[in-house]
Amino acid sequence: MSGTSWIAADWGTSNLRLWAMGADGAPISERRSDRGMGTLSPDEFEGAFLDIAGDLIGDGPCDVVICGMAGARQGWVEAAYATAPCAPTAATATHVPTRDTRLNVRILPGLCQMSPPDVMRGEETQIAGYLAGAPDFDGVICLPGTHSKWARVSGGMVQTFRTFMTGELFHLTATQSILRHSIGAGWDHDAFTDAVAQGFNAPGRVTTDLFSLRAASLLGRKDGASIRARLSGLLMGVELNGAQDLMTQGDVVLIGAPDLCEHYERAIRVIGGGAKCADATAMTLAGLIAAHDRLKEDQT
Amino acid sequence: MSGTSWIAADWGTSNLRLWAMGADGAPISERRSDRGMGTLSPDEFEGAFLDIAGDLIGDGPCDVVICGMAGARQGWVEAAYATAPCAPTAATATHVPTRDTRLNVRILPGLCQMSPPDVMRGEETQIAGYLAGAPDFDGVICLPGTHSKWARVSGGMVQTFRTFMTGELFHLTATQSILRHSIGAGWDHDAFTDAVAQGFNAPGRVTTDLFSLRAASLLGRKDGASIRARLSGLLMGVELNGAQDLMTQGDVVLIGAPDLCEHYERAIRVIGGGAKCADATAMTLAGLIAAHDRLKEDQT
C-alpha cells in the first residue's frame, strides 16, 4: 500500500493503536491490535509491528513515532524520561534499531518528576496534543485511567504532575477484598455523589468507610449497586482531595475514556469545580503529530 | 480423658483454638487446628470439633462456648449480633443443635453498630477479657489484624467502634498491585515512621503517595525494604487519622499479634500518643471465661 508518509503509534500495556499518516498530515487509515507491551518480549516488538503495519510501509524509508509503554524498561527499547517541569512534546526521542531497514522507529520519552517521585508514559503525548490546539492553556489536565494523572500545565510546560492509583485500587477492592461479596451490578448515581463528598471531606476515614460498606451489606442496609457506586465515589473523593492543590479557577480538562470522564466530571462538580472533556484518541494523534513535527525540525 | 468441666473455643476464619477448662476455672489443656470457619460448610463443624476435642468430653454433658466467625452467616449457626453501645460480654448466646447429645454448644454474638455501620466477631470477646481484669477501664482498645478494630470503651460497655481495612489493603497492594514489582524483603524502621507521619498528616494524598513509591523505585530512589515499610506506614498513618477522634488521653490498649502490635505501638508514638500491649490469647480466654460465667448466672 502506498501513500503512507509516516506512522504514528500509541503502544500501551494492553493495546497498540496506529495511524498511517498521509503527506498532507492527515491520517489515511487506523489500525488496532491487542498485542500490547505487556504481551511482548523486547525481540517480539518488530515482528508484531510488521504483522499489523507491514503492508502500509511500501519501499520505505518510513518514520514511525511511538508513545507509551513500548518505551518502558520491559518494552521494545527503554526511552529515558524527560524531567518535569518541561514541555510535554519531546525534543528528542530514542531511536530503535530494526532488522527491517525500511523502518526509522523512534520512541518518545515519558515524563518523570523527582519530588514527589512520579512518572507517566503516553499521557504526556495526550497533553501535548491538547496543547497543540490550545498553546496558551493555563490550568489542570486530568487523565483518568487505571492510574489517573493530574498535570498542572502553563507556559506550554507540564509544571508538576501527580498519579493516583484510584482505578487500580477500585478494581482490587471490588474483586479481591472482602467487599467483593457485597458488590453488585448496576450503579446508583446518588450514592456515588454522596460518597465523593464523603471521601473528599474526610479522606482519613477512607479505609474504615470501605469496611463500613461491607458491614452495611451484612446488616442489610445497602444493596450491591449502591455499594459499587460508593466504593468508586469514596476513592475518587480521596483523589480529588489529594489533587485539589493542583486545581485552578478554570475547568479541569479531562482526557480519557468517555464513561470514566463522565464519572470524573460528576465528581468534580460535587466538590464545586467544573470540567470539560477532550477526545482521548484525538489528543493522542495530535500529540504524535506534534512530536513528529518537532523531531523533523530538529533534523533540519 | 476426664476432668474437663467445659470447653472454651475461639473459632475464626482461618483457625480454631480451644481450651479444656477444669472445675477450678483454669485451663487444663489447649489445642489448635487450621480447620477455620473458612474451610468448613455448616454441617462439617460438629465433626471438626469432635475430631479435635472428642476425647476431652468424657460422658458429658459438656458446655462448649465459642466466639468468632463460627457464628457468621456462613458459619456453624448464625449468632445474631448484639448492638453497640452494649457490654462486650454477651448476655445471651445462640444454642447450636448437635447430633452428639453430650454437647451443649453455644456461640457468642458479635457486635454490630448501625451508624456508621460496622461489625465484629471475636474481638468483642477479647475486649471482654480485658475488661474482666480492668472493669473500670475508660479509653480506647485497638485490635490490629487483617481488619483492625478500634473500640471506645467506658462504663463496662463498647460505646462505639470502627473497623479499618488496613491489613487487607496492605496485603492486596503489596502482592497484587503495580507496587508488587517494587516491594522487597526486609524492613526500614525510619521509612516506616516517616510514612506514618505522612499518611496521618495528609491522608487525602494516600493514593498518590502509593504510586509515588512505585515511581521512586523506577527512578532508582528507593529500595524494596524501604518501600515495603513505607506502604505499611502510609496505610497505618491514614488509619490513625481516621481513628484519632476515638482516642483519649490515656494509652491505647493493643490486643493482637505481638509483631503487629509493635508496629502499631511505634506508629501511635509517631503521632504523639502512647500504647501498651495486652496478650491476645490471654484476653480471648479471659473473655470466654467471662462469657461462660455470665451464661451460667443467667441459667440459675
Which domains are assigned to chain B? 6-121 (3.30.420.300), 163-279 (3.30.420.310)
Mean pLDDT for the stretch of residues A37-57: 96
What was the pLDDT predicted at A3? 86
Distance CA B189, CA B136 (A): 36
Q: How far does A14 lie from chain B, in Å, by closest CA?
A: 14
B117/A216 CB distance under 8 A: yes
User: Please, which residues have CB within 8 angstroms of residue B27's CB and are 6 or more apart in sequence?
Assistant: B8, B19, B20, B21, B285
B116/A208 CB distance under 8 A: yes
What was the pLDDT predicted at A1? 47
Helical residues (DSSP H) of A84-165, grouped into ranges: 123-133
Q: Which residue of B has its CA nearest to A198?
A: B204
Check pLDDT > 70 for residue A224.
yes
Mean residue pLDDT across chain B: 95
Check pLDDT > 80 for residue A118.
yes
- Is the pTM of the predicted complex or chain greater than 0.90? yes
Q: Which of B233, B225, B218 is nearest to B184 (CA)?
A: B225
User: Radius of gyration (Cα) for chain A, nearest Å?
Assistant: 21
B178/A164 CB distance under 8 A: no
Element (H, E) at A284: helix A280-299
Nearest Cβ partner for A207 among B119, B216, B235? B235
Please write the tens of the pLDDT for every residue from A1-31: 458 999 999 999 999 999 999 989 899 999 9
Nearest Cβ partner for A211 among B164, B213, B216? B164
What was the pLDDT predicted at B60? 83
- Write down how long chain B is: 300
Distance CA B244, CA B117 (A): 18
ipTM of the complex: 0.95
- As given in the structure block, the three cell numbers for residue B267 are 506508629
Distance CA B36, CA B16 (A): 5
Residue A242: its chain B contacts at CB < 8 A? 202, 204-208
- As given in the structure block, the three cell numbers for residue A263 are 464519572
Nearest Cβ partner for A203 among B119, B172, B204? B204
Report, as ranges of residue numbers, the positions in chain B whose pLDDT lies below 50: 1
What was the pLDDT predicted at A2? 57
Q: Could you tell me the strand order of the sheet in which A139-143 lies?
A: A157-164, A148-154, A139-143, A252-256, A275-279
